[in-house]
Amino acid sequence: MGWQGTVRTLTGGLVSFAPGEPELTHRNAIDRVQQSLRGPRTVVVINPKGGAHKTTATLLLAATFGTYRGGYTLAWDNNETRGTLGWRAQPARHSNTAVDLLRDLERFNDLRSARVGDLDNYVRAQGSTQFDVLASDEDAAASSTIDGQAFNELHTTLSRFYRVIVIDTGNNMRASNWEAALDAADQLVIVSTIREDTAASAAWLVDGLYEKGHEQKVRNAVTVLASPSKVADPQLNRRLHGHFASLTRTVLDVPHDPALVDGGTLSYDALAPATREAWLQVTAAVADGL
């Protein structure tokens, strides 16, 4: 990569330099993402405020895991009723959601006949990024919800078919399905934009998790700070780094990317190289905790 790769190409390999530090960092991150796991693992993305970058983080973590691990990755919208993960994902030939899967879950609990291919009628394949999406209920007239028991039933079954499950949580941290996801988490990802309101919400969340006895999960958490514009407030960024670094395992920045601004269907290929690299580093840090 870089000028070393250019020289090697131009000289037909006659002059070959050692990889530079950025390339070594990149290779190291890929190795960490691809490391063997001790069974299926669950990553839970949290911040009780809307617009905090949770859905984007869920999709990009799943896309990075899928791209570098080769599939068996699921992004799951665990909102009580309607979330936006299904809207941001590539569409499928069906419109089934977690509610439909829950209704038909018994067919996947018979280990003699359950097949991963049968899940295609409930999840939405995301093409070259090699992950699937399980959307939350999208029917505005529906009255059904996913509670804690339903989450646990779904999670038990889905863990038989996926190596990595990345969960997009809702905004109600008192909901039973939110608490069930937290209990199931092998790794928490606390995500916030570099704004006072979303950061305050994340800090309030951390305080609440400490009070509920989840100190160890918070200390092992990865904090992701997303720039809301081309130039983030450097003073606020430093303050947030200092605060969350004292509470969680690591704090990482991800840049603003015009491809994410419109809130439409997310295209991993449309992201700037710097954005993809930043999320690779985030995913590697998450993998370290799995």
pLDDT at 237: 94
Residue 217 near residue 188 (C-beta atoms within 8 A) = yes
pLDDT at 145: 75
pLDDT at 10: 67
Task: Write out the H or E segment, with its range, that includes residue 25.
Answer: helix 21-33
CA distances from 29 to 21, 96, 189 (A): 12, 35, 17
pLDDT at 81: 67
Closest by alpha carbon to 193, among 233, 235, 154, 157?
233
pLDDT at 230: 80
How many residues are listed for the chain in this entry? 290
Q: What are phi and psi of 39, to 5 degrees?
A: 90, 180
pLDDT at 144: 62
Task: Report the C-alpha gap between 284 and 68 in whole angstroms.
Answer: 10
Task: Report the C-alpha gap between 8 and 18 in whole angstroms.
Answer: 10
Q: Which residues, at least 6 apart from 108, have a Cβ–Cβ distance to it below 8 Å? A: 114, 118, 119, 157, 160, 161
pLDDT at 68: 97
Q: Low-confidence residues of the chain, pLDDT below 70?
A: 1-7, 10-17, 81, 139-144
pLDDT at 83: 79
CATH superfamily of 39-288: P-loop containing nucleotide triphosphate hydrolases (3.40.50.300)
pLDDT at 17: 63
Beta strands in the chain (DSSP E): 41-46, 73-78, 124-125, 132-134, 164-169, 187-193, 222-226, 250-254
Strands laid side by side in the 250-254 sheet: 124-125, 132-134, 73-78, 164-169, 41-46, 187-193, 222-226, 250-254
pLDDT digits (tens, 9 = 90+) for 181-204: 999 999 999 999 999 999 999 999
Model confidence, pTM: 0.91
**39 dihedral zone (left: phi>0; alpha: psi -120 to 50; beta):** left
Which segments of the chain belong to CATH 3.40.50.300? 39-288
pLDDT at 5: 67
Task: Report the C-alpha gap between 200 and 84 in whole angstroms.
Answer: 23
Q: Which residues, at least 6 apart from 269, have a Cβ–Cβ distance to it below 8 Å? A: 128
pLDDT at 7: 60
In 10 A of CB 177, how many CB atoms? 26
Task: Report the C-alpha gap between 144 and 124 in whole angstroms.
Answer: 21
Give strand pairing partners of 223. 190, 251
